[in-house]
Structure formats: structure tokens, C-alpha cells
Structure 1
């Protein structure tokens, strides 16, 4: 094995090693999730060198400089105030979802008008209209970090794969017997997973367009799915009140997570793949050990359904969004409720952390999105101007741009 170069990863903090083995270029990452300004760099360098044989004494100074750059970036906590920059009359019918590419230079919108549109973020110019679906385009995603492909899942029971540069359709994945409502690329961008109202999830080969596996076992609609950060496992959440963990290579179900008494609204792995968080219509959020499938905590406090749930990028904090009009922030280690975010006048359907982890973004049926401080729970800003409920909101990778998508057929760019 021969070390070729180092790459920095800011969110979450880490160093990626690019190395050669058997004539092939490979990568591995050193996660520095607990990196803080108090950490003495040379002690950390010694720890890294001890655990990673590819990093020799001659590279110690280089690694130390990379850690200092990561600390500097972490110290530049983003306290910006977002300004409304543009409203895009994106579709002739309501939007369903919005998503950024890794750099944030482009974003996509799905709609009830049966199309997905590709936009230039800086100018607000429409680059492509992806046409061909015969029903609502509900689930959309870029193949980040690469960003050269888009997957769209539709109520017409198909998923399509598109070229970002040309807008050309590479493949149409056919096989589901009902609407596709969720999808994701694996981290390597070799597979697309789709979840459907037919109670199955499927894996598709990006290169050939062929079905790789049908993940069969749920007894009701599969509403949410997520790959782990290595792409080895997939987790699915269903209206049957259960969550399943699947081995991607074999398509075999490893664990069934039983404990919720209502439909599952969202599922997510944390960064190091050790934990899974689930939100449910039973008004709770649960934390599960990924390796055993054991429930380690039930996070309560909401008076109505939990509609969305997410980890911050380090996997140490959890946020929940509820139909009761509040969001909550929990510690993933102590399982304690840290904050209740109050201020919205309608249900909150989406919640997400800024990449830096110091802000929470919520979207509500009260026609506003809100930014909250994670330490104090104070509402820092109300993003208003939409004329109907907001049901999608996303940060770009740098955390300096937000897109909100609304039932009013528009999306708004905030930067």
C-alpha cells in the first residue's frame, strides 16, 4: 500500500486518505468528530499515526497542518443571517421535494406536475426540465458527492436515472407494483434504493439499469430509507410500524426493529453507522443500536405525531419535528431532551441541522421556515414570504444557502 494524498472533509470533520493498493486507488477516512479547540494537535497526530500505519513520521507535520485547518474551519461557526434572494415559480403544480448537489451550485425540485427541474443556484436559472414520468415526481436525489446523476421516483411506479449535464434519461427502473415514495443513492453511486407503497424496497444497478434485489418483508408501505455511510447496510421504515436493516450485498434482512406502535415517518443512520434513529406517528422517536437491532432509548415529549427526525453530521445530537408545532433536540449519548423549539403556528414537517451543527432549520404548515440556535433554543430568524405551507427545506454543504419548497408552487433561495 502506498499513500498518495490527503483530502480534508469539513462536515463532519475528518481526513480522507487516498492510497494505492494492488494498482487500484482506494480511500479511507479518519473521523475527527470530537475535534475541539482544546485538543493539542501533536497528541492527536500521535494517536492517528498509531492507528493508521499508512501515516509515517515524515507525514506528521502535514497531518498536523490539516488538523489545524479543520480546527480553523470549526472555529468559523456560521452565524450568518439569511436574506431572501430569489423566488422561482418552479412548477405549475405544488412541489414535492428539493435537493442540493454536494457543492450547492445546483439544486432540483420535484412536483405534482410530473417533472423534475434542475436549477443553477447562483442565478436561479432553470437548466433542464426532466420529463417522462406519467405521474407525480415525489422522491428526488443527486448522487452526491459526485453530483453527475439524478434519480427521480414517481407515483407512476418507476424510478428514472438522469444525466445532470444533458438532462438525458439513462435508465427507467421498472418493477414496483405501486407508487415510489422514497429513494437514495449508495455512497459509491453504484446503486439506487427505492421504497414503494407496494411494501417493498428495491436495489438497482446504476450502470446497467437492472434490478439487483427486492427487499421483501414489510407488510405495508415503505415510507423512508437510508444507506449507512459505508453503503453496506440499508434501513427501511414502514407503515407496518417496523423498521428493517438489510445487508446490501446479499439483500438479506439482518434485523427487524419492533417497538413503535404507529407508522414510521423517517429513519436515519448516524455518521459512524452505530445508531439508527426513527420517528413515528406514535408521537415518539426511538434510538436503536445498528449492530444488534436493540432499542436503546425512547425519546418522548411530543403531543402529536413525529413527522421528521434527523442526526446532526457528527451523530451526537438528534432533532425531531412534530405535528404539535414544536421541534425537539436530544442528546444521542445521554438520551436527554436538550431543547424544545416553540414558535411555529402549525405542524412542522421537516427538520435539519446546518452542516456546522449550530443551527436547526424547520419547515411548517404556517407558511414559514425558522432557524434556531442549538445551544439556546432561541429562534434566530423567520423565513417568510411563501403563500402556502412549506414542506421541504435544505441547507447546502457549506451551510450558507437554504432552499425552501412550498405548496404555493414556488421555491425560494435564501443566502
Structure 2
């Protein structure tokens, strides 16, 4: 099934939680599609440069062309609410992330973030979250929604208490800007990845017990080297026992979450760097997409290439597997 996004260069794509809808974000428009028929259902009002589904699939939170955050209805594509940056924040909103239960939303603009109540009126919760010295590139909530983490171009990540907006710890172990962040399914670990070629596995109990106030360094984490340098994407497996790392080479690495030891390395089926990767919901498969336009399916246990998906003529920027 092929869907042709005509709204400029495609920058992201995401399936809804139930797998029935597809959200595509391009440089000229954001669209919602029927993932079964491939039919375009609607364009998002005011356009979109970033977006993601709410856990119930009823909303899209993201950023419009004017740099102001938006909430869109997935039933109509209409704007339901504006999510502006803090009054003194002159930069555009760049990302929006829901908590797993859909009760909270985090938006980022420049070096500041804002927590929102997402269960009702979408009102801001307290003042903006400040402390980063450069732009926030990624963010995530812990599975229970109690913590939020922001990853910045300033080479640090910050752990925030969602209820109060208090910065609990600054995670310092990287020497360059961070690219992505992820919580383990149990909420006991956090991954950070950077263009410095390192991935850090943070044990949150050790982080919170760090003696230096509000600071955790390398003593609270396991530091791993990405094959090829830049770490493009890291994600925990659904059971939390391992995580995958896609970096600046033609393969993929899988590490044990507890030991930090490399468990599996697969390579040889992509012609260029792997840009993105994702586990299947049961953790048995990994799907990878590369800059050469190729997509591959792998066994997460044996590393065997199970399938080669063709159809793209340019770089693959997003991959996802949903159970329906």
C-alpha cells in the first residue's frame, strides 16, 4: 500500500495507536490518511511541521507553520487549541509529546519546555521548565507519567518531576548535542544518545541517589559506543531487557539493558546508514530504514534478515510496526 504525500518534503510519519490512521508531516502540509485503504482523509488546519498522536488517537499535538503549538482533531483536522510558547520565549515550538496515559503533554520551544494538563482544558501546569543552555531536541515521559526528561543540544538531559515542574537531576555524560531519549517500559532506566557517538543507560535509582545535588554524572550510567559515530535512534524492547541502536553505519546493534553488553550486531543488507529502527509490539522483530531507501525486517534474537521491503527511492526517515 503506497500513499503519496504531495505536501513538499516528507519529514515524519506515524501510525495511530490502533493502527487505523497514518499521520504524515511534510514541509508544506500535514495530513491524516486511512492506513487500511491509503485514502487521504484530511489536511491539518494551518499546516504542520511536527506532530504526534494522543494515546487514544483522537488528537494530534504538534506545531503549525507559524511556530505555535496546536491540538488538532483527528476526526476533522481542525484546530482545537493553541499551545503557544512562554510569553518571554521568542523561539518557535519544536515538539509536543504526550504521556502514556494521555493525561499530560510536554511542548518545547528553544531551551525551555512547558507541561500541560491534557485531560481537560489543556491548561499550562506551572511556569516553563528552564535550565537548558541550548535547544531541546527530544523529550519523553516515564511510563507512569511521574517524570519527564528533556534532551538538549547543550549535551545534557534533565529529569523533571511532572507534578511540580521541579528539575530533579541534570544528566551529564555527553560531549555534544543529544539526539534522542527513551524510558524503559518499567520506568527504571533512561537512554540518552548523542552525536558524540555515545549512548548512556541511566539507572534512575542511582541517578536519584547521586550525592551531588541535582547532578548525575557517568557514575550513574553505562556508557556505550555507537558503531560508526553518530547515534541516530535508540529504543528499548517492549520487555525492557534490551535496546536497539541505529547509528552512522549500515547495520544495527542490540545491547542488554542490565549489562550494557552488545548481544547482537546485524549488518550487510543496507547500502547506507540506518536512519531509523523500531521493535514490533511483541519484541520479536525489528524494522530498519536507511538512507539508501531500503527497509529490512530482522529477527531480534538471531539477527537473521527476514524480509526486504522495496518501494522508496530516497532516504527512509521513519519506520513503525503496529498490531491491529
Under a length normalisation based on structure 1, what TM-score does the superposition of the two structures give? 0.71
**2:118 is the alignment partner of 1:118:** no
Partner of 2:296: 370
Q: How does 1:336-347 map to 2 (within 5 A)?
A: 336-343=261-268, 344-347=270-273
**Alignment check: 8 A CA contact 1:279 1:320 kept:** no
Give the whole-Å Cα distance in 2 for the aligned partners of 1:280 and 1:331.
19
**Alignment check: 8 A CA contact 1:327 1:341 kept:** yes
**2:279 is the alignment partner of 1:353:** yes
SS at match of 2:314: coil
**Alignment check: 8 A CA contact 2:226 2:245 kept:** no
The 1:154/1:363 distance shift into structure 2, 3 A limit, reads farther
Give the whole-Å Cα distance in 1 for the aligned partners of 2:226 and 2:34.
40
Partner of 2:116: 204
**Alignment check: 8 A CA contact 2:197 2:228 kept:** yes
Partner of 1:15: none
**Alignment equivalent of 1:193, drawn from 103, 106, 110:** 106
- CA shift, 1:155, in A, is 5.8
CA RMSD of aligned residues (A): 1.6
- Structure 2, unaligned runs of 5 or more: 208-215
**Alignment check: 8 A CA contact 1:153 1:194 kept:** no
**Alignment check: 8 A CA contact 1:154 1:179 kept:** no
Partner of 1:164: 74
- CA shift, 1:244, in A, is 0.6
Partner of 2:311: 385
**Alignment check: 8 A CA contact 1:307 1:323 kept:** yes
Partner of 1:98: 13
CA offsets 1:39-87 (integer angstroms, 9 cap, x no match): xxxxxxxxxxxxxxxxxxxxxxxxxxxxxxxxxxxxxxxxxxxxxxx21
Partner of 1:230: 144
CA offsets 1:312-356 (integer angstroms, 9 cap, x no match): 111111101111232110010221101112122212221111111
Q: How does 1:9-408 map to 2 (within 5 A)?
A: 86-113=1-28, 115-133=29-47, 137-144=48-55, 146-154=56-64, 156-175=66-85, 176-196=89-109, 198-206=110-118, 207-212=120-125, 213-293=127-207, 295-343=220-268, 344-398=270-324
The 1:167/1:339 distance shift into structure 2, 3 A limit, reads same
Give the whole-Å Cα distance in 2 for the aligned partners of 1:229 and 1:387.
37
- CA shift, 1:389, in A, is 0.7
- Structure 1, unaligned runs of 5 or more: 1-85, 399-415
Under a length normalisation based on structure 2, what TM-score does the superposition of the two structures give? 0.90
- CA shift, 1:92, in A, is 2.8
The structure with the largest alpha-carbon Rg is: 1
**Alignment check: 8 A CA contact 1:154 1:181 kept:** no
Give the whole-Å Cα distance in 2 for the aligned partners of 1:160 and 1:397.
28
SS at match of 1:291: helix
The 1:363/1:138 distance shift into structure 2, 3 A limit, reads farther
Structure with a larger share of its residues in helix: 1
State how many pairs are aligned.
307
